[in-house]
Structure 1
Amino acid sequence: MNCVEFEWTSADGVRLFGCGWRADDKSEVKGVVGIVHGMGEHSGRYIEVAEALTAAGYAVLAADQRGHGKTEGKRGHIPSYEALLEGVDLLLKEARQRYPDVPCFLYGHSMGGNVVLNYLIRRKPALSGAIVTGPWLKLAFEPSAKDLMLGRIMNRIYPQFTSHRPSAVEKLTSDPEAARKITEDPLGHRYITARCFFSLLRGGRYALEHAAEITVPVLLLHGVEDSVTSLSASRAFAESMGDLCTFKELAGYRHELHNELYRQQVFHLMLTWLEKAGERNA
């Protein structure tokens, strides 16, 4: 699998790190998938996803979101929700420049799922479809009223106010080796600012309210044992979206489906769906 790194510059001058993978320079590419990662993650956490996709003939592009990975900015902070959508703009522009004549898809996990679904609703992009796993539409738990009140105050007077997110890696995966890599990852972090939290909270609510406006097929996967993001919210989203959404609840899986013990089964579901979506758009 070949890897290439590149950079983009946002409208406000922030440098964003991007990378791309394909099987090799000479192989035929049947489609391109743009990855939008979750909170505290970065594009490097998706190498196994890229390996599965490139082995099946797809090219993959990913970017480190604002305040994440190798991209500039205060860790866990965004100036606005629009800045997250701009990152997807840049990712898709790169994908279409590099692979102009093949089906184009988005893939988003957790926070990235929140962003991808909002992107489909607000931007109405000409895509062949999107894969979303464990999206942050709602959290699987309720923050305390005290924390929410403090966060709202800080969002008004000092939006860069930073909180530490819970660090229980066992909520993410039941795979000990994957858990070790997450824990030891020097580019990962557990920070989130008041502006980022409430922007994503509103984004999840907006996606639930406007799910029926999505016009491209979506594969929505959620682990039954997910204690980070809400399975019932994903279920409600799928019901609102209707026939364009293929929704699967995966028993025994925790939050990070791509890092779970039986992730090869998840990759198989994705690839099967991608093939069918590509055929529909051929």
Structure 2
Amino acid sequence: MQNFEFAWKTADGLELYAQGWLPEIPLEAVICLVHGLGEHSGRYFRLAAYLTRAGCAVLAFDQRGCGKSQGLRGHIPSYEVALDDISHLLDEAGQRFPDSPCFLYGHSLGGNLVINYVLRRFPRLAGIIATSPWLRLAFEPPAFKVRLGRIMNSVWPSFTQANCLDIQALCRDPEVVEAYKQDPLVHNRISARLFTTAFNSGKWALEHAEEFKLPLLLMHGSADRITSPQASSQFAKEVPGDCTFKLWDGLYHEIHNEREHQDVLNFLVEWIKAHLS
């Protein structure tokens, strides 16, 4: 596959880093990828390699404050601005691949964002893929931290603290966990604004699931200790149209990085092929 890099300037003056992967076989679809909290697009190289072998181009960007993109680590000025950044990625896809079906794919925080993007922005896309979306956390955050986040969101929204992510809960493969620990582009910060808006938007999405109108593939590991598989199941049951929910027994948060990733990615590609038009 061929890898290329590009960037764009946001309305508030940040440069966001992006990259793409092209297949060596005829193009069938383009996948726009939105990564999770504190990570970056480069962690999806293996996923991109698999998708390109299936004839898909992949476009991904480092969210503001992440990876090689500019911005305060772990902070967004507003949830709407984060959705605007996704709009730009989709615009890039439309300009580069105007005749190809486009799918929007989000993992974890990215899953929260892409689900809300559909509910709030009503895009015309071939389908949506959400893996381990942050609709609810798999644990109850301390009440004082939630209250502190809400207070700071009002008085100092860019205030950041450690996200307290349980790195061991990412994946059962110790090599993946160790690579995450050693990755210089990964960070552990989250701002009051990002936490509060993502927390509230996950809840809002659950309350508006019956308004979701696009084909959806929603996948989660049953042993995820970071985001709630029960919330994903609840969301899928409320979606009125074309929704496929796949619960992967015993898998952790990063189902695309687990030892069973071949099965996960095979399932993903088969769903994409079934929704090409």
TM-score when scaled to structure 2?
0.98
Alpha-carbon distance in structure 1 between the residues aligned to 2:262 and 2:248: 13
Aligned equivalent of 1:209, options 207, 210, 221: 207
Q: Which residue of 2 aligns with 1:101?
A: 99
Instruction: Please state whether the residue corresponding to 1:52 is helix, strand or coil.
Output: helix
- Structure 2 Cα separation of the partners of residues 136 and 108 of structure 1: 10
% identical equivalent positions: 49
Q: Does 1:276 align with 2:263?
A: no
1:164 has 2:162 as partner: yes
Q: 1:90 aligns with which of 88, 91, 103?
A: 88
2:11 matched residue in structure 1: 11
SS of alignment partner, residue 164 of structure 2 = coil
Matched, 1:177 2:183: no
Distance across 2 between alignment mates of 1:167 and 1:207: 23
Cα RMSD after superposing both structures: 0.9
Runs of 4+ in 1 over 3 A off after TM superposition: none
Segment of structure 1 superposing worse, 186-195 or 143-152: 143-152
Q: What SS is found at the alignment partner of 2:117?
A: helix
- Assess if the C-alpha contact under 8 Å between 2:212 and 2:240 holds in 1: no
Aligned to 2:52: 54
5+ residue gaps, structure 2: none
Q: After alignment, is 145-154 or 44-53 more displaced?
A: 145-154
Rounded to whole Å, the distance in 1 between the matches of 2:155 and 2:62 is 27
Offset from partner CA, 1:137-178 (integer Å, 9 cap, x none): 010111111111222111111111111022432100001111
1:22 alignment partner in structure 2: 22
Counterpart for residue 237 of structure 2: 239
Q: AA paired with 1:179?
A: V
Gap runs ≥5 in structure 1 = none
- 1:61-84: CA deviations, max 9, x gaps? 000111101110000000000111
| 1:230 maps to which of 228, 231, 251 | 228
Q: How many angstroms does 1:222 deviate by? A: 0.6
- 1:64-112 Cα offsets, whole Å, 9 max, x none, are 1111011100000000001110111011001111111011001100000
In the other structure, the counterpart of 2:32 is 34
Equivalent residue number for residue 118 of structure 1: 116
> Amino acid of the residue matched to residue 194 of structure 1?
A
* SS class of match (2:275): helix
TM-score by length of 1: 0.96
Counterparts of 1:212 and 1:101 in 2: how far apart (Å)?
30
SS, match of residue 57 in structure 2 = strand
How far 1:179 moved relative to its partner?
1.1
In 1, the alpha carbon distance for the partners of 2:254 and 2:73 equals 21
| Cα displacement (A) at 1:214 | 1.7
Q: How far is 1:14 from its partner? A: 1.0
> How far, CA to CA, are the matches of 1:123 and 1:116 in structure 2?
10
In the alignment, the residues of structure 2 paired with residue 155 and residue 167 of structure 1 have an alpha-carbon distance, to the nearest angstrom, of 20
Partner Cα separation in structure 2 for residue 107 and residue 69 of structure 1: 18
Residue in 1 that maps onto 2:75: 77
- The total of aligned residue pairs comes to 277
- Tell me which residue corresponds to 1:135: 133
**Secondary structure class of the residue paired with 2:125:** coil
Give the SS at the match of 1:242: coil
Cα offset for 1:243? 3.7
